[in-house]
Structures are given as structure tokens and as C-alpha cells.
Structure 1
Amino acid sequence: MLWYRAFIFVLTFLLYASFHLSRKPISIVKGELHKHCAASTEVELHSYKEYATQSQPVKKLPNESQCGWEPFDKNNYKQLLGALDYSFLCAYAIGMYLSGIIGERLPIRYYLTAGMLASGLFTAMFGFGYFYNVHNLWFYLVAQIANGLVQTTGWPSVVTCIGNWFGKGRRGFIMGIWNSHTSVGNILGSLIAAYWVSSCWGLSFVVPGVIIALMGIICFLFLIEHPKDINCSCTPPSSSRTYMNGTNRFRVQKPNLNTKETSQSQSPEMQQLLSDNENCATSLNINMPVSEENRNGTSPISFLGALRIPGVIEFSLCLLFAKLVSYTFLFWLPLYITNVEHLDAKRAGDLSTLFDVGGIFGGILAGIISDRLEKRASTCGMMLFLAAPTLYMFSAVSKMGLEATIVMLLISGALVNGPYALITTAVSADLGTHKSLKGNARALSTVTAIIDGTGSVGAALGPLLAGLISPSGWNNVFYMLMVADACALLFLVRLIQKELGCRMDHTLFKEH
């Protein structure tokens, strides 16, 4: 059993790392799609000219060879390149809501494999524009929109799969480590894209596209969706429940137990988010309409049914603002470092990776703390509370020198990405197996998609707002980020009060 868990951990880590690996090339190739005309030379475009000579002649604008790749060689290149980002992010946000609903009605292995193969195709499609000399903006927009839609198959699928294999007892710590696949994928994608960006930028997309397609084949051959698929039980025999995930193959009848017996025999795999709260206030579940089919775990949950799970709306809105902050740093941090530290683009990009390094440690730390305290919402709230003043300090201290910037990047990355990582992994898995579902584990995909889809709306809004505000000064951008962190904390207040109040009630009861 331990070997299988380790295998699924590594496999899903690599699968989702390949998703991020295929998203990264666009940020690396932007500098090649548009160049500073004065700095361009004939040598820089030697490979393109060589290819153009061998292909059919195409009429080019006089400044095309000097300023980059048409249509991104014009003065409005910022708007055009921004359109590529927003088309992907908006398609991803919209598609995520549909992806979870579709995903829980299909076997995870088939659904994830199809998504990875399609993502490989559309990632490579962007690079085909180089080899086939395509200069139509809509070609690249369609490639980004289509890629954004099919990439939504990844997150709900891998979170559902790893949630099936790891119980709540150590879920925060395990998923904190597992969530570093995001940074690993970004780093690998940057290295691969940078290798070909100057000589043949088409390969910067084609190679990552081939990699994610190959990983899709590996997924089809080796992914094990649930321990029940190999007749391996994660729960004690006394807690017989129904487990459904994508198919109707496995059904274990749930015995009729009274409330006390059920709570005593509940396995670690089925312990849910805010379980103490549910013991303190059972009214959250009494009014939850659950059909007999849902009680047996044979019916996928509806979109509205998923929204009615206690905590889904609060955590979704919290992630919207938390992801807004994180993605603003992702898109604008290199430029900010360039302006403040007066570094070139490459050194600023390398330095900005420290924010991701801090995020890895922040995700692991958030997982450990939430496991020890058994309070997901309180852990997120504590880190969000500290993040707002830290961002103010970052805006002030980063102007004092490179050393201070490095320290603040690590601290800010940990506090900003810690709650983001915890909500998208452990919290989503907890809510997707909430006790109000009566053992229906098929809701995990829909719940994960709702939470991450709402967060993706913030991911699209953050860079857009930063672009509108930054001309008035970088301080105003940081004020916007601090307000976003405060809003994220505000949406968790009710859940934090329930967690703290319920623990206090248990303590008073034990004292008497």
C-alpha cells in the first residue's frame, strides 16, 4: 500500500508539472516576438531569414526583421501580447467550472489523458506558426483559448486522484510538498523554452507540447484512480462506506449505525473539513437535501449542490483574491525588479524565481500547521493577516538594496502562496469529501473545479488591474494587493469563528 501511494504521489506530481511546463513558453518567447528595433541585428534573425529563404516568399513589412514577429512587431505589441495572456486565463477560468462537472462523470484516467493529448496539440500549434510563417493574430489567440480550455482537465483530476489516496490526517503536509509541482513545471518550462527561443522559437512550444502529450500516454498506461481499483483498502473494515470515482465499479454498502457509532468508527480517509464544527452544529447538514442515490454515492453532484457544501463559497471567494495577488506577482514581479534594482531582464527573471521558492516553503508550512491544529481556515487566515503588512514592507525595503529584496521575496512568497496552495489542494480535497455528501466521493472533481475556477477569475483580474494602476506608481499596485489580501481574509472570518468557537466548546465540555 505504501508503495502504491508513493507511486501515485510521484506520477501525479509529474503529470501536473507537465501542465505548467507547457504554459511557461509564452512568457519566455514574448521577448522574441517583439524586440527593441534599435537593439536588433541581422544575426539575431539569421535562423528566421534562413527559413524564409527556403520557403515560399512572403511579403513582409520593412520593420518586421528588426522589431520581431508580425503582428507583434507594431507599437501596440503590449496590448497584443496581453491579449494572449488574458485569452488563456479567461478561457481557463470559464472552462474550469465545466471541467469538474464533466470530470466526475467520466473515468479520471481517460479524461486526464484526453486533456493532456489535446493540450500537447494546442501548445505545439502555437509553435507551428513559426514553421508555417503564420502572421495572423487570431491563429495565436485561438491556440491560447483552446489550450486554456483543455488544460482545465488537469487540476480537478489530479487533486481528485491524490485525494483518494491520502487521508486527511497528513493531507496538508503531503499536499504542501506535492503542490511544488507548479514551481518545478515553471522552472523546467523556462529552461526548455529558453534553449530554443533565440534560434528557433517554434521549438519552444513544440517540445513542451510533445512532452505533455507523452505524459498523457503515461497517464493512460499507469494512473490508478482509487485504492479500490487494486483491491487495496485505505480504511478499517469497521467503516464500510461507498467509494465512487468516475465509474460505478466499486460499491460497499454503508451499514446502519447511530450517530455516536459513526463518529467513532469514522476512518481518517473520510474525516472532513470542519468536522468538529459539524459535531457542534449539526444544522449545517440537517437541511442538506441528499437523495438516496447520493447517499449510496452513485450519483454525481450538481453544480448548485456543490455550492451548498459548507465552506465551498467562502474558500472560493477567498482564493479569488489570494490568486489575484499571486498572479500579479507572477506577471509583474520581473518588471518591478528591473525598475527598482536596475537589473537586466534575465537577472530580474532569475531573481523573481525566489518568490516561487518562498511559495514552496509556504505551502509546506501551511500544510504542517493546518494538520497540527486541524484548522484549515484559521491557518489560511493567519497567513493572510501577516501577508498584507509584509507586502507593504516589501514595497519599502526592496528599494534599500538587493539583499533586502531577496529576503522579502522569500517571505512574501511564503505568505502569499501558502494560503493559495493550501486552499487549492488540502482544502479542496477536504470539501470534496465533506460529510454532508454521505460518502459520495464523486463530488471531489466538481468542488475542486469550482474553487480553482473562481480563483482563476482573480488570476485574470490581478495582472489586468496592475497594468492599469502601475502608471500611477508601484506603491498603488501594492496598496491594491494589500486590499485584496484583506478581502481574502474577510471571506474566511465566519469559518474561522466556527473553528475557534467549536474548539472552545469542546474544551469547556471536557473541563466539566
Structure 2
Amino acid sequence: SHHHVVVFLLTFFSCSLLHASRKTFSNVKVSISKQWTSNAFNTTLELPIEIWSSNHLFPNTEEATLFLGMLGIIFLFSYTVGLFISGMVGDRLNLRWVLSFGMCSSALLVWLHFYNRWLYCCLWIVNGLLQSTGSPCVVAVMGNWFWKNGRGVVFGLWSACASVGNILGAFLASSVLQYDYEYAFLVTATVQFAGGIVIFFGLLVSPEEIGLQVLKQFASTRLLPGSLAYTCLKPVNYSFFFWLPFYLTDPLSIWYDVGGIIGGTLQGFISDILQKRAPVLALSLILAIGSLVGYSRSPNNKSISVLLMAVTGFFIGGPSNMISSAISADLGHQELIQSSSEALAMVTGIVDGTRSIGAAVGQYLVSLIQDNLGWMWVFYFFILMTSCTILFISPIIVREIISLVE
């Protein structure tokens, strides 16, 4: 019905706007680092001397970069804790209220800027908690409207919201970054706040709100033990998400998101045909290892970098998108918890929260490895974590392959 289309679009763009807000921070790291250091006055910014002097917080770019990395880690840990909380809150309150509150409050918070290290840390902690309302709520709403049959391709297409948000955030930030990095935050926050208002008045949480009845179908419980595998995969995906814009001056990082969009949709479609998700994930992750090796040894050629980045996004971003959407929805309606019709947000929060723990730790390890051993060892770390993901889901892979053969 047209209600399904409206729900799909509203949840899609609400999630996209939240990701755009996070992506803005990644895209303005270079500008922030320049403006916050005492020896990095950049005439292209055309900042008056008195404004620049009041804004610099660090004596050199190395300390500024280290602090920005710490802010990212703080945000991820706060976001991780918030996912567990938001999942439980979303199941007990109206999902529309929780999502709208998180979007609007987070947008207002991003508008605030204090040139003080400790205040920035506090702001990013609260911002992580508010941003965490997004994932559990939107997946729960989508799970209420779209059931088992065809869920893979629907959620595969819907999971492109993260990549679309990354692209949107990069576009919005770059369009005003020439004036000041604060304008980038202002633009994305304004759009996000408007989206939160639309969600509050326009989103239908479930078909029951308009008198529709849905035949609920429950998924298998066998994918639930895979949370440890998801914890290993997210550091790889989030490392590309947080650090690519910082180390690539060209908009090449967008192609990773493009690959993730195509990968999540196509892999969701194939998993619907097979009625199994683990074999599709396993094949994609095996090929992801090859793409990581190729990307780490790629020549200094823009066209080749674009191709390899898209391929890497396809095989890493695609599975990550499918895990965070379709598989979370499967778990939320499994037989183990079917006695609780309001558990989907909680399950999504648990799955995403578990993975985010790995992402938060991974961000620290990436910066540590890069500083001490170089980028080649960072890719070795990515390969190790991807291999561990395959290892942890191997029992599920074996069971589902045997069931397909039988």
C-alpha cells in the first residue's frame, strides 16, 4: 500500500540524515585541525586574526589530529551504550517519539560550539547517546511493516540509507566548507532537525495504527549467536567511514558508499532467493579479503582507486548493511522472543550495540597501528578482523549449506 512506501521513505531518509550528521565530522576533520592549531593559519579560510586566535586549541596538527581521533572514539563508545538503552526505551515508548526526539535534540546539540576540549568531549558523549535512537527505532518500524518474505531485498535496498547519508553529508559539508567548518555542521543539523519534525507528524509506527492486520512470520533463532562476528566486521566498515575522508583529499571515499549500496541490495536479493543469509555473507567476506589485499597494494592511480574502493564497499559495506537491517529484523521476530511483540527495537539495539563495541575499540587500534607500524599493517588488521568474522559464523554457514543441499 502507499503506507508502506511512505514508511520506507520516511525511515530511509531519517536514517540517512543521522548518518549525514556523523559524516560531516569526518569530512571537516582537516579544516578543524587547521583552524585549531596555532601554526596553521590558512589564508584561504579568510578568517580574521582575532577569530582564528580565539579558536586555536593546539600547538600543532599532530595534537589536533590525536584529539579528533579521541572524539571519534568517545562518540562511538557513547553511541554503543546508547544503542542498548535506546532499544529498551523504544520498545516501551512510542517509536516515533523516541526517533523524533533523538533527531531534533542531536541537531540542536551539533549547533553548539565551545572552544574548550572538555566541553567538546561532553557534547560528543551526549550526541552519541542521542544519535543512538536512530538505528533501533527505524529498523523496528521497518520490521513492523515488512515481514519475512522478500525482506532481504527490501532491507537490502533500504540499508542504502547509511551510504546515501554518507554521500549527502559529504555533499552538504563540501558545499559550505569554504566559509568555515561550523557552517557544515549548521547545514546538516538544520536539515536533520527538519527531518525530525516530519517524522513526528508523519510516521506510522505499525499497520495496527490504521487498523491493518499483518500475518507475522518468525525467523530462525540460529543467527543470534553471530553477534561476536558482527563485532569483528564493524571496525573495518567504520574505519573506512571515519578515516577515508581524512586521508583522501579527493571525493573518492564516496565510491565506498556506492559499492555498499549495490552490495547490500544485491546480497539481500540473493539471500531471499536462497532463504539463507549466512552463505551469502560468507562468500562476500571471503571476496572482501581479496579486495583488501588488492586495495592495500594498488598503484597511485585515481581510476584504479575508484574501482577498488567500490569493490571493497560492495564486499564489506554490503554485508554490514545487511546485518544491521535485514538480519536484525529477522532476529527481532524469531521464535525465541515471539511472545514479546515489542522486542524488535531491543534486539536491534543489542545487535548494533555489540558491533559498535568492536567499532569503538577498532578506531583506537587503527590510529595506534597507523602511527607505529604504517598503513600496510592497518590493512593486515582489516584482513584479520574480516577473517575472524567468517570464523565466528562458520557453524551457521555449515548448517545452512547442509540444509540447502538437503
Alignment of 1:94-493 (within 5 A): 94-125=81-112, 129=113, 134-235=114-215, 269-272=216-219, 274=220, 310-314=222-226, 316-334=227-245, 338=248, 345=249, 347=250, 350-396=251-297, 398-399=298-299, 401-470=301-370, 471-493=372-394
RMSD: 2.1
Q: Which runs of 5+ in 1 are unaligned?
A: 53-63, 236-268, 275-308, 339-344, 508-512
Determine helix, strand or coil for the equivalent of 1:466: helix
Q: Is the 8 A contact 1:28 1:197 kept in 2?
A: no
Distance 1:479 1:210, change over 3 A: same
User: 1:3 maps to what in 2?
Assistant: 2
For 1:135 and 1:400, the matched residues in 2 are separated by 38
Q: Which runs of 4+ in 1 moved over 6 A?
A: 36-39
Distance 1:326 1:206, change over 3 A: same
TM-fit CA distance, 1:497? 2.0
Are positions 1:503 and 2:404 aligned together? yes
TM-fit CA distance, 1:120? 1.4
Q: Is the 8 A contact 2:222 2:396 kept in 1?
A: no
Q: Which runs of 5+ in 2 are unaligned?
A: none
For 2:187 and 2:294, the matched residues in 1 are separated by 41
TM-score, length-scaled by structure 2: 0.93
Distance 1:407 1:112, change over 3 A: same
**AA matched with 2:15:** Y
Q: Is the 8 A contact 1:312 1:447 kept in 2?
A: no
Distance 1:111 1:463, change over 3 A: same
Q: Is the 8 A contact 1:164 1:227 kept in 2?
A: yes
Give the aligned length.
402
Q: Is the 8 A contact 1:22 1:205 kept in 2?
A: yes
For 2:45 and 2:106, the matched residues in 1 are separated by 30
User: 1:28 maps to what in 2?
Assistant: 27
Determine helix, strand or coil for the equivalent of 2:45: coil
User: 1:277 maps to what in 2?
Assistant: none
User: 1:70 maps to what in 2?
Assistant: 56
For 1:411 and 1:473, the matched residues in 2 are separated by 23
TM-fit CA distance, 1:49? 4.8
- Alpha-carbon deviations, 1:80-120, whole Å to 9, x = none? 11121111111001111121112111111111121112111
Determine helix, strand or coil for the equivalent of 2:156: helix
For 2:300 and 2:69, the matched residues in 1 are separated by 31
For 2:15 and 2:71, the matched residues in 1 are separated by 22
Q: Is the 8 A contact 1:123 1:208 kept in 2?
A: no
TM-fit CA distance, 1:5? 0.6
Q: Is the 8 A contact 1:390 1:412 kept in 2?
A: yes
Q: Which has the higher helix share?
A: 2
**Identical amino acids, percent of aligned pairs:** 36
TM-score, length-scaled by structure 1: 0.74
For 1:192 and 1:403, the matched residues in 2 are separated by 24
**AA matched with 2:128:** G
- Alpha-carbon deviations, 1:127-172, whole Å to 9, x = none? xx2xxxx321111111111010011111000000011111211111
Higher Rg: 1
**AA matched with 1:434:** Q
For 1:190 and 1:353, the matched residues in 2 are separated by 8
**AA matched with 2:240:** F
Distance 1:184 1:70, change over 3 A: same
**AA matched with 1:362:** G
Q: Is the 8 A contact 2:292 2:379 kept in 1?
A: yes
